[in-house]
């Protein structure tokens, strides 16, 4: 992926080396949703009308962050890891800014306000509005404080343990978590929480729906990057490999009833759906038969 260093702090809060003595734990579940009654219509209206299907369908052209292909750094396709922590930190800062510049522009196009999400980078452990965070939790978005939490060591884990190397594998992860913030800004996440409270026996099903939509929205952003000419050969394959690597079936949850994020096949499918046309209207996972 073609990228360059962001001046200043960008959207990142740097807590590296802060320690914090946090306890380890599992990743925080992010509620999701399915079309129950009129829910699919609500979500489709939110995505297609309030955000603007035609505008988002325009892909990267609308999300101009002042970047042109000239002067970008580019990691070789197939790179086994993102090199060195400082480079990874700068890359994360760039992707966070680029993705949020994109979504901010889409919101502005329909006279909506987008509140940017801080991306907290930490080592070992830190405290979030959703409780303790550690390297064991993996990246997550916290709805309580509207922040993304990320230990950079996860990207090495993604490459070495899960077989998903490359800079765009990392970009997919960051874009996915920021997509949860987009869902929060649109009110979708809150509606899903309501559904989980009303139908606790379907809580995992709702979670899968929301997670797959975040994959699709990450694909919409990726489409914009490609349209601006900033993807290298092999980048999308890296993103797809990362999506497959974190499928519930790949991670050991063999029964669909145990899934909270969706199978590898589904995660790849929905990332592709967003990337194909760059249209958020294609991301209505709530009405779709999975």
Question: Which tens digit of pLDDT belongs to each residue from 13-49?
Answer: 999 986 543 333 223 233 333 333 344 444 544 554 4
- pLDDT tier at 198, thresholds 50, 70, 90: very high
Is 248:262 a contact under the CB 8 Å cutoff?
Answer: yes
Contacts of 53 (CB under 8 A, 6+ apart): 47, 279, 280, 281
Token readout for 4 is 């360059």
pLDDT at 249 over 80: no
Cα gap 189→100, rounded to integer Å: 18
Q: Taking residues 113-142, report their average pLDDT.
A: 92
Confidence of residue 96 (pLDDT cuts 50, 70, 90): very high
Residue 137 confidence class, pLDDT cut points 50, 70, 90: confident
Local confidence band at 234 (pLDDT 50, 70, 90 cut-offs): very high
Q: Which of 23-37, 131-145, 200-214, 263-277 has the lowest mean pLDDT?
A: 23-37
Say whether pLDDT at 124 is over 60.
yes
The mean per-residue pLDDT over the stretch 256-262 comes to 70
The pLDDT, as a whole number, for residue 38 is 40
pLDDT band at 157 (very low <50, low <70, confident <90, very high): confident
**pLDDT score of 253:** 60
Cα–Cα dist 73/71, whole Å = 7
pLDDT over threshold 50, residue 185: yes
Can you name the residues that pair with 151 across neighbouring β-strands? 122
Residue 59 has pLDDT above 80, yes or no: no
CA gap 8, 196 in Å, rounded? 40
Mean pLDDT of 214-234: 96
What sign does the CA torsion over 8, 138, 29, 178 have?
positive
Give the CA distances from residue 134 to residues 17, 100, 179, 250, in Å, rounded to whole numbers and listed in that order: 12, 25, 21, 22
């Amino acid at each position: 992926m073609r990228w360059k260093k962001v001046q200043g702090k960008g959207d990142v809060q740097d807590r590296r080396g802060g320690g914090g003595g946090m306890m380890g734990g599992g990743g925080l579940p992010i509620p999701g949703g399915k079309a129950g009654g009129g829910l699919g219509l609500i979500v489709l209206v939110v995505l297609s009308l309030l955000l603007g299907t035609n505008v988002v369908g325009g892909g990267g052209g609308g999300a101009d962050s002042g970047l042109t292909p000239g002067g970008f750094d580019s990691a070789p396709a197939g790179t086994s890891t993102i090199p060195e922590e400082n480079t990874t930190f700068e890359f994360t800062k760039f992707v966070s800014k680029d993705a949020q510049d994109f979504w901010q522009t889409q919101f502005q196009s329909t006279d909506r306000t987008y509140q940017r999400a801080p991306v907290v980078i930490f080592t070992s452990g830190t405290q979030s509005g959703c409780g303790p965070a550690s390297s064991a939790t993996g990246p997550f978005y916290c709805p309580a404080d509207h922040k993304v939490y990320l230990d950079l060591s996860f990207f090495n884990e993604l490459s070495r343990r899960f077989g998903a190397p490359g800079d765009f594998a990392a970009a997919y992860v960051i874009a996915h978590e920021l997509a949860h913030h987009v869902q929060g800004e649109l009110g979708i996440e809150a509606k899903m929480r309501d559904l989980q409270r009303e139908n606790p026996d379907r809580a995992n099903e709702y979670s899968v729906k929301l997670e797959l939509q975040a994959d699709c929205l990450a694909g919409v952003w990726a489409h914009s990057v490609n349209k601006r000419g900033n993807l290298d050969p092999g980048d999308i394959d890296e993103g797809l490999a990362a999506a497959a690597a974190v499928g519930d079936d790949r991670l050991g949850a063999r029964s669909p009833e145990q899934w909270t994020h969706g199978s590898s096949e589904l995660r790849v499918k929905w990332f592709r759906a967003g990337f194909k046309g760059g249209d958020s209207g294609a991301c209505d996972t709530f009405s779709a038969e999975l």
